[in-house]
Structures are given as structure tokens and as C-alpha cells.
Structure 1
Amino acid sequence: MTAGPAGAGGFPLLAEIGAPAAVRALPPERLPELAREIRAFVIDRVAASGGHLGPNLGVVELTIALHRVFDSPRDTVLFDIGHQAYPHKILTGRAGAFGGLRQDGGLSGYPSRAESEHDVIENSHASTVLSYADGLARARQLSGEPDRAVVAVIGDGALTGGMAWEALNNLGAEPRRPVVVVLNDNGRSYAPTTGAVAAHLGALKAGAGEGRGAERCRNLFTDLGLAYLGPVDGHDTAALESALRAARALGRTVVVHATTVKGKGYPPAEQDAADCLHAVGTIDPETGRPAPASGSAAPSWTDVFGRELLRLAEERADVVALTASMLRPTGLQPMADRFPARVLDVGIAEQHAVTCAAGLALGGYHPVVAIYATFLNRAFDQVLMDVALHRLPVTFVLDRAGVTGPDGPSHHGMWDLSLLTMVPGLRIAAPRDPERLAVLLREAVATDGPTVLRLPKGGPAAAVEPAARIDGIDLLHRSPCYPLEVLLVAVGPLAGACLEAAALLEDAGIGVTVADPGWVHPVGPALAAIAGRHRLAVTVEDGVRIGGIGAMIAQALQDARVTTPVTVLGLPPAFVPHGSRAELLARAGLDGPGIARSVRRLHAGPAVPPVLGNPATAAAAAVTAAAGRAR
């Protein structure tokens, strides 16, 4: 991917930049012009496609300085999280690909090893980069290449994560490895950075005029044995270059403390106290407001949860809430505004959030831990041993569960069901619509043990009234004119796709029942009885199909000696790329037509035995192949 007139039309200087060598060749007096063009380019492209805006605008001069001082890819520049990597992509020859930013088959919104040799890591979970840097620098040392610098860019928000301090502990123990830690300090992640580390960084910035030098003052980093340079103005390219060259010359692990402004150069983002311009859909580039086509008055799943949680908090003084640096994105802001003492933001520290919640439960409270589904993976041991082992009443609300869309593999919340179904005593709910969300959340908070509520990204569908209810299981549809041949078991919001599939199957003369268990794990005995009255049961979930809800249902039928065969439709055990949620679900065969196609193939084939995980018969293998196209 190379920038050029076609990719950077209207940006004459960017049209000259095809690789970092061109950045190094620019005379210093042209760097402000380059920074202005990068900002204008990012605003223009992100306004059209959506993406991370504020973080990228804040690191323009920093990225220019990095590519002028270090020789990528011989030197390695690593970005923590990676949502600030758009200027890096532009300067490494990918401006021409921004027309497909975060779209199916287009440019990733994060660093991507498949895109460029300048992208070495692509995991976009926070607080990881210093560990990568420590290991890579050790490898360079072992290989006799200590002159190849390793640069790790980490934000002050990510520095609240425990893994970052585990890495600093190791880097400080052997500080002669040449690792340059660039601390991009803008005072916030999604929201203002809080905690003792933030206060310490604030004190360093407040004392910036007291002197300079590698050992200007004693601080956390120097006490760990690291060198420290700064604070330096992160929007002064000359000052940044000077600090980075000095850091490289030290030949040891050094922290360069750069202070930046999130959203720099774009007034709507700079003035965005609520951080709504951290990540955006399509927007009006003049105002930063959502474009008319993308704006919607309808509440999201997150909005509905936030509203219902506030109602519960008003009724019950024992309800408290925790999150890991995501008050607004997980829906906790309304409760925080109303009951600030009962809402805790622990920073980017998911493990601490879960075990702190366990402590609150031990103290007589019912904690609600609101967290993205993909990030709960980081705290699995705490869920298992600190909460479930003690049978504590903690409710986990997993936002962005299942296929999330344009953020790609690291942000799909598709692993939670396979992980959490093995946790003893944990109950899992998946609402199909806002009304069920309210009911299931209330039931979860009333449960004397650990519970999970799973919410997808985006806006919920209209409410679906059940045709009947049997022992807590909602029957959403029963074919009136056909024998009940196929049972579709919908997990949460995939109920809509199952109802669409049922209509298509009835057109083909196949009788269908659509069931929504609500509480999807453990599997209720009534579901086995319902399945026993059908020729075939098909489970539909937007999690990994191995070890997920379908596998649990198949096991439950086997344990109940119900011989109805079960086929599991879900996501393949693979890293699903970025694209829209609708596109990716369709590709996996999890939209209405895809489900109907799979059922027709199975219905036409011979009866098959119940399955545990992947279907093993020829007919079911066809379904597996269809769903596997999401690879």
C-alpha cells in the first residue's frame, strides 16, 4: 500500500510520503506543514468511514518524530492498544488505503501484520506493549543485534494496567537493554485518568520547569532503575526529536515522558469533555457531530442497560458498579452521575475490577461489573477462583458480546461463552430485546451467586412477544400448519435471525419452533423436553461454537437421554476479521437466510446423532463449512 496522488489527493506533501525514509528526508521547516496535512487527512477520512479520531490527532508530531529518529522496520516501533496508529500508517505508505478504513477487506483500524512490515504487533488490548518490548529487546540481545532499537509507545491510561508494571519491574531489573518507553501522557483514556499513577504523572508535569536531564528528579521510573527524560511537549517536533535522540544515545531502558492533547488541532475533539470523539461513526467534519445518515435517536443496548441499572440502584442501596476505564462506553455514567460513591472506575485493570468486586460482595454488596466481553478474557482466573469458587453474588454485564464489527479480531466478544460455560455455579443470560434485558438484569441482581448478562453492540431490535412460555423458556414461534420438525434455539439477539429463518423454512414446507431460553446456561431441563418433540434441534449463537451454548445444550440432551440430534451453528474457532456486524454474521451463516440454508441441508439428509461441539456427520459438516467462511 503506497501513498500517492490517488490516495492523498488534496494533500500534496502526503503525496510525497511513501515510506519513513521520506519523512526523515524532509527539512525541519516543512514538518509543521506535514503535521497539518496528516491532521486534515485523518479528519477527512475518519469523518467518512468512522474510526478512532481523538487518539490519532493527539500523536501526529510524536509519530513524525519517531519516524525521523528511528529507522523502521529495522528499529521496531510498537503501539500499545494501537488506536493511535493512523499517523503511523500514513507515514509508512498506507494513505491510499484509507478509503476502506475498517470496512470488510479494507484497512484495519489497528496495526496489522498483514498490512505492513512496519506493524509488528496487532493485539489491541491495553497495557501489553512493554512486555512485548521487553521480550523483543531480549531477543535482539541474544541474537547479537543490540543496535536495533525497540520503541514502545504507551499512554498514561494504559499505564494504569497491572501488566504494564509487571513489565516495568522486569525492565528495571536489567536496564542495560536499549528499550525506549514513550509515555504519551494526555491525561485520559476514554475519561480522565484516575488513581495514584495519574497523580504522580501530574506532579511530574507540574514540576516540569524545575530543571531537565536524564535524572532531573526522583520519580517512580528512576526508583525502578530506569532513566527518565521529560516532560517534553508532545506537539513540538524538534523537542521530541531531541529527547528521542538523547534516549537512544543512552543505550539503556529510558522513559521519555511526552505530554500531548487528545484531539489536538480539531476544536470539536479538543473540547470534547465526554470523549464522544474518541471513536466515531461517520461525522460532519466541520462540527464533529454524527452525520445525518448515521445518527439515530434509538437507544443502544448499552443505553438500555444503563437506564435499567440506574432504576435498580435507586431501589437497592446494596447495588454498586465497577468498570475498567469505560464508564460511558459500558453504560455506567447515569449511575455514576446519580450515585458517584457507588460507582468505581479502577482504570485499565480488569483483574483488579473482578477481585475488588468479590471483596465488595464479601462486604454485603451486589457488584455489577460492566466490561467489554473481549476484555473479560483477561480476568478469567479472577472470575473462576475469586468469584465463582466463593459463590459470590457478582453480576458481570458484558458489552459488545459476539461479533462487534469494524474493530476486528481483538474486539469481537466471541470467546466469552466458551470460557464461561466451564465456570461452576455461573449463570449466563442473553436477552433478545430491551424488555428481556430489564427482566434478566433484575433476576441477575436478585441471584445469590455469580451471573453474566451478555449484550451485543449496536441498537436492539423491536420487542418480540412469546407465543408461549414453558418453565422459563419463551417459545417465540410455532408452525401452525406443519409437524414440528425443527427446533431453533436462539441465543439472545439472534432470535430475530431465527424468526426470519423460520419463515423461510415454512415456505419450504418445514415446521419450525423458535425457542429463547433467556438464561442460556446452565441448560434448563425444559429445553431437553421441548427438543425431544422435534426431529432436529439447531442452536444459533454468535460465539465460538466449540464449547459454547450449543455444545452445552447437546450435552444436556445426551444427559437427559433425549435422542434428538443437535447441530451447533456459531462462529468458527478462528480470528474473525473486521467488517460490519451484519456482513460478518451473514458470512458465518448466522443471518436468517444462512440459518435456513443450513437447516434445509440437514433436513434433507439422514438423521444424525447428537453432537458435542463440531458436527461430525456429512450433513452437519456442510454447515460447519458454511459457518467457517468467516475465516
Structure 2
Amino acid sequence: MYFCLVQKSFLNTINSPKELRLLNQKDLPQLAKELREFIINIVATKEGHLGASLGVVELTIALHYVFNTPEDQLIWDVGHQAYGHKILTGRRDNFHTNRQLGGISGFPKREESEYDTFGVGHASTSISAALGMAIASQLKGEDKHHIAVIGDASIAGGMAFEGLNHAGVTDANLLIILNDNAIGIDPSVGALKQYLTNVKKGTQKRNNIIKALNFDYSGPIDGHDIDKIISELNRLKTVKGPKFLHIITTKGKGLKQAEKDQVKYHAPGKFNAKTGDLITKITVEEPPKYQDVFGYTILELAKQNKKIVGITPAMPTGSSLKYMMEDMPNRAFDVGIAEQHAVTLAAGMATQGLIPFCNIYSTFLQRAYDQIIHDVALQKLPVIFCLDRAGLVGEDGATHHGVFDLSYLRCIPNLIIFAPRNELELRNIMYTSQLGLEFPIAIRYPRGKGVTLNWKQPFQNIEIGKGILLKKGKKLAVLSIGTIAKNVSEAILNIDVSHYDMRFVKPLDERLLLSIFETYDTIITIEDNSITGGFGSAVLEFAAINNYKNTIKLLGIPDAFIEHGSVDELQQAIGLDVESLSNYIKSFL
């Protein structure tokens, strides 16, 4: 008689960390194997962030095994590390809805679970937040632990240093864990990265900078040795004051292709869960991504103009500045997760006659607001801001939508704001910007593909502050800004209305607006930015100043944080899709 021994599944028995803590420690490596396979199988078909979470599987299990979460508070810097955390904290059975409309968020979210103690979509925030929690616990007389897991290059962000600087002079019960994998989305850069590399190799002779900041430093240890991690976490539980554990991990651990190509497998799209091979789509000629139009155009311009330099905060691949970095490494700069530094670095370069193209995602430029005002606009320095991922970005959700830029930039003096409706307009405004503007300019464009196959056409100068008529009609005027013009054009295909692409939010084309207000009783503004303070608000202000009584209707992003889902789904939900726009416009005829 033969018996078939079936391996017991541990993951399916865990609905919260309470069940996890009942396991024998010797069974945890098997749990880690199951957790990796679970993440791989779901992300292979549903898409999402892969490499970061695979790299912290052992750490995730160890943290929930040793600490009494959620009483002990755990914060994940850059939330795409937290898939394993979500699965172990009651979201295993609905993890397949990750990043989908109505499903769970791709990042920790306080509304979603008591185990998500802090929302973390942007980088370098965990230390400050955890320290705030730790000080609060002290003041309330509570005996609990506070753990910040900072990884994927976030330790190099300025805010992380600010948090370290403060935490080192407190006696707060704070543990900072550095998940050192030497990569964010792209490989880490900078002197701190080199320092940490030397620490790992044992070649660093200078005093440990973490110890110098009054932390109890331990490590570096193998972040995939679960027994060693548990042992060290148990020891650190008994140590008072600020503590720092340095662990070494491999991003993408457990999937060979993800370990080998960590940039591509950060968020790889769909892939074969067994082999790791990416699922290639049938190749048909498609318009380029806007980021690639930027990337190829800046390289083309830089070859003609030696004053042009490129800057990006840790997004050379995402912004496509990588093309210039490969061809002209001395004139293109990845400054790490440091948006404030990127902006003021560009300002410094501009004072010396260089022409800096500072490429930052719209949502991340929010982190450098003072620098835009004080270091660039106030001094009339002609920095060219290229804002990628403007508008709705889709599945990354509320932390990543670029829907506030027109509002937060429009109130700044000396700043030109332009939104191209297609690839040709993006190329031409980039060309125009480097010819010698007297003021800084912000150029905002969306994530994803454009609309033009034959996009690489000869450059043409764009007149600053000039809008254009796209379609002439009789009934009313629709004013759009940026790439939402595509939806508008399709929506009014068989409707007798006029359509204007205003192009510039600042300065507004007042001559054109005067003509529009004199001609049409009803005016509808459409934008993929917050209605509050955006392009439509600018038109309303113009009408008020000039005493116009026309009917003015504003369409755009409502005064709410928009959750995750595909761009098409989100546009339908808020009435910016073609059908909704068409029905809305028809209602005025």
C-alpha cells in the first residue's frame, strides 16, 4: 500500500496575524513559499506591483509573527511593498480585486484595514509618521511598538533624513527597518546608496552614520533568513529608544526573471506565473506613449542645443529621460527620490544659462511646491517643468492621480501653464520652450499612449497664450484643455457646437475668450483636473472680471479623492467619457 503525502497549506488557514502566531517557527519558510506563489499567481493575471512585495515576504511574516499587530503599529514606506502584508491581514480572499474598480487598494489605506496604520503612496514618509505615533503613545502612557519599513530607495528622500534627525534625539519606542535592495523603480543613485553598498561589502571604514544619529544600529543581516530576522526582532523588542535594523533583500525574490530584470518586473503587466515570461501583445502599429514623445524629443533638442539638461527624481524609465541619460550621461541627471532638490537644482542651473527640463510626475511635483514658488517663479527662472501622469492615471488610485496641478500651479505668478492635446503639441511646446522664454513653464501630459502615428514631424513654434478653434458650430462653445480634447471631439462629432482647445491655462487667450463670450450664450469647460481652482475656474474669473452673464458650466474632477480603476472606468464614473459628455452637451441644445 502506498500513501501520498500532501503538503499542508498554511496560507489558507491564516485570516489574520493571530493565526500566523500560532504556527511553529519551523513552518514559516513553507508559509513564505506559499505567500510568494500566491502573489505571483494573482499579479500574473491581474497586474500590479510585483518585485517589491516578493522581496519582503520573509520580513512581512516575521514582523507579524513577532509583533502584536495591529496594537503594535507597522508602516510600509512606498506601499507597493505591502502585498504580503495585505494578504496576511484578512485580505487574502479578495486580493484578486487589487487595484480594480471597487476592489482593494494597491497601497496601504487606513479606511481599508486597522492593520494599515498609515496611507503610504508617496515615498520617504514612514519614519516621520511612525515617530509621530511613537510620541503619541508616550504621551498617552501606552506600551506599544512602532515599526517603519523603509525600502525601495526611499531612505534617500529628504523627508526620511528629517525624520531620522528628529528621532535620534528622542527616547521614542521606534524601530526603523531599512529594506536595502539597492533599487527603487530604477537602480538607486547617490552617495548614500554607495555608502550602504560599502557597508554591505564590509569596506566601509568610517563611523556608521546611523549610529552617529543616536540609533541602536544592527545589521546588515540577510532579509531572506526568516529565523535570523525573527531572532533580531525579538532582541530589538527589548531595546529602548530609537532602533535601526539594516536588512539586505533581493527585489523580485523567488521569480528568476524578476530578480534578473528588476526594473521591468517592478510592475510587469501580465506574465506567465510558472515561467515568469511576459505575455506579449500582438504587435500593431500604435501611437507612442507621451513619456516616449518627451524622451525622444528632449534628446533630439539636446543634440541641437548644448544648453539643454534633463532632470528627474528617480523616474528615468517612467519619464523616458533614460534615452538622454544613455546618450548624454553628463547632461541628464537622476537625483533620486528628491523632488524638492530636483526643482531647486534646475533653478540653480537656470541662473547659469542652462535650459533645464525638469521631468516630474504631476502627483510628485506636489512635494516641491515651495521650491516652485520661491526658487523658480519668484526669481523668473526659465525652468521647463514636464509633468508626466497628469490627469487620471488609473489603477494606482488616489495617491497617484495628477488632478491638482492646474489648480495648485495656476495661482503662482510668472508661471506659464500649457497642456498639449496630442503628441505634436507636446513636441512643439518643448521646442518653443527652449528658444528663450522669460518665465518658467509647466507642460502637463497624461500617462499612456497618444493619438498620432506620424508624430515625429518638423518642429513649429507655438505662440504663448494662444488657443485655437478645432470645430465651428452655432449652438454653444465647448472649451477644453489638454488631451481630454479627444473625448470632446468624439462626443460632439454629430452635434452642432463649437470646440476650442485653449492650450494655455496661463496666460489665458483673453482675445479668444472675448470673442467666445460675445458669440455664445452657453459655454462649457472640460478638463481632467479638479474643478476647484482649475481651468474652468479661470474662465469663470475672466467672466466675472469682464461682467459677462453667459451660462457657464464646468466639467472635470469633482471635489473628492478619486479611487482606483481603469481610466475608462473612472471617466465613466465622473462623466468625462465620450457618451456622458455627449449626453451632457446635448442637454443644453
Interval containing the TM-score (normalised by the shorter chain): over 0.9
Distance 1:584 1:93 in 2: 27
**Superposed CA offset, 1:175-228 (max 9, x none):** x21101010000111122111211221222112999xxxxxx931111111110
Superposition deviation, residue 12 in structure 1: 2.8
| Correspondence for 2:432 | 443
- Look up the match of 2:531: 545
Paired residue for 1:44, among 41, 46, 49?
41
Residue 369 of structure 2: aligned partner: 380
Q: 2:507 aligns with which of 509, 513, 522?
A: 522
Q: Report the counterpart of residue 133 of structure 1 in structure 2.
A: 130
Equivalent position to 2:475, from 473, 478, 485: 485
- Of residues 511-520 and 380-389 in structure 1, the stretch that sits farther from structure 2 once superposed is 511-520
The alpha-carbon distance between structure 1 residues 454 and 410, as it changes in their structure 2 partners (threshold 3 A), is: same
CA distance in 2, matches of 1:332, 1:520: 26
Shift of 1:561: 4.4
Q: In the alignment, what sits opposite 2:543?
A: 557
2:148 is matched with which residue? 152
Matched with 2:302 is: 313
- Cα deviation per residue 1:490-543 (whole Å; 9 max; x = unaligned)? 111111111122125x2xxxx211111222322112331342211211111111
SS of 1:201 mapped into structure 2: helix
User: Aligned partner of 1:489: which letter?
Assistant: L
Aligned pairs for 1:3-42 within 5 A: 12-42=9-39
- Whole-Å Cα distance in 2 between the matches of residues 472 and 289 of structure 1? 48
The match for 2:384 is: 395
Q: Does 1:330 align with 2:319?
A: yes
Structure 2, gaps ≥5 residues long = 1-6, 456-461
C-alpha offsets along residues 341-391 of structure 1, whole Å, 9 cap, x if unaligned? 111111111001100100000011010111110000010110011000010
Please say if residues 79 and 129 of structure 1, whose CA atoms lie closer than 8 Å, have aligned partners that are also in contact: yes
Shift of 1:115: 2.0
- Does residue 1:185 correspond to 2:195, yes or no? no
Secondary structure of 1:88's aligned partner: helix
2:578 is matched by which residue type in structure 1? G
Q: Compared with structure 1, are the counterparts of its residues 209 and 126 closer, same or farther at alpha carbon in structure 2 (3 Å cutoff)?
A: closer
Q: Which residue of 1 aligns with 2:293?
A: 304
CA contact (8 A) 1:473 1:526 kept: no
State the distance in 2 between where 1:170 and 1:294 align.
Answer: 53
4+ residue segments displaced more than 6 Å: none
Q: Would the alpha carbon gap of residues 464 and 310 (structure 1) be closer, same or farther in structure 2, given more than 3 Å must change?
A: closer
Find the residue that maps to 2:131 and give its secondary structure.
Answer: helix
- Matches for 1:479-628 after TM superposition, within 5 Å: 479=473, 484-503=474-493, 506=495, 511-532=496-517, 533-601=519-587, 603=588
* Percent of residue pairs identical: 40
CA distance in structure 2 between the partners assigned to 1:563 and 1:463 by the alignment: 42
Partner of 2:449: 459
CA distance in 1, matches of 2:485, 2:453: 11
Range moving further from structure 2, 91-100 or 455-464: 455-464
Question: CA 1:293–1:103 in structure 2 vs 1: closer, same or farther (change >3 Å)?
Answer: farther
Conserved? CA contact 1:229–1:247, under 8 Å: no
Alignment partner, residue 474 of structure 1: 468
On the 8 A contact 1:282/1:294 being kept in 2, the answer is: no
- What amino acid is aligned across from residue 202 of structure 2 in structure 1? G
1:24-58: CA deviation from partner (whole Å, max 9, x where unpaired): 22112211211111111111101111100010110
**Total equivalences in the alignment:** 573
Residue 289 of structure 1: how far off its partner (Å):
4.5
- The alpha carbon displacement at 1:282 in A equals 2.1
2:410/2:505 contact within 8 Å kept? no
Partner Cα separation in structure 2 for residue 11 and residue 544 of structure 1: 51
Q: CA deviation at 1:553?
A: 1.8
- The corresponding residue for 1:7 is none
In the other structure, the counterpart of 1:172 is: 168
| Residue 244 (structure 1) shift | 1.1
2:116 corresponds in structure 1 to 119
Aligned AA (1:163): M
Which is further off, 115-124 or 49-58?
115-124
d(CA) in 1 for partners of 2:514 and 2:8?
66
Q: CA–CA distance in 2 between the matches of 1:458 and 1:241?
A: 43
Deviates more, 1:262-271 or 1:522-531: 522-531
Aligned to 2:458: none
When residues 177 and 522 of structure 1 are mapped into structure 2, their CA distance, relative to the original with a 3 A threshold, is same
Give the Cα separation in 1 of the matches to 2:433 and 2:512.
20
User: Which AA in structure 2 matches 1:440?
Assistant: I
CA distance in 1, matches of 2:285, 2:92: 34
In structure 1, the gaps of 5 or more residues are: 1-9, 211-216, 605-631
RMSD: 2.1
Asked if 2 retains the 8 angstrom alpha-carbon contact of 1:11 and 1:37, the reply is no
Paired residue type of 2:222: D
CA spacing shift, 1:487–1:335, aligned 2, 3 Å: same
Say which SS state the counterpart of residue 398 (structure 2) adopts.
Answer: coil
| Comparing 44-53 and 564-573, the one that deviates more | 564-573
Paired residue for 2:279, among 287, 291, 302?
291
> TM-score, normalized by length of structure 2?
0.93
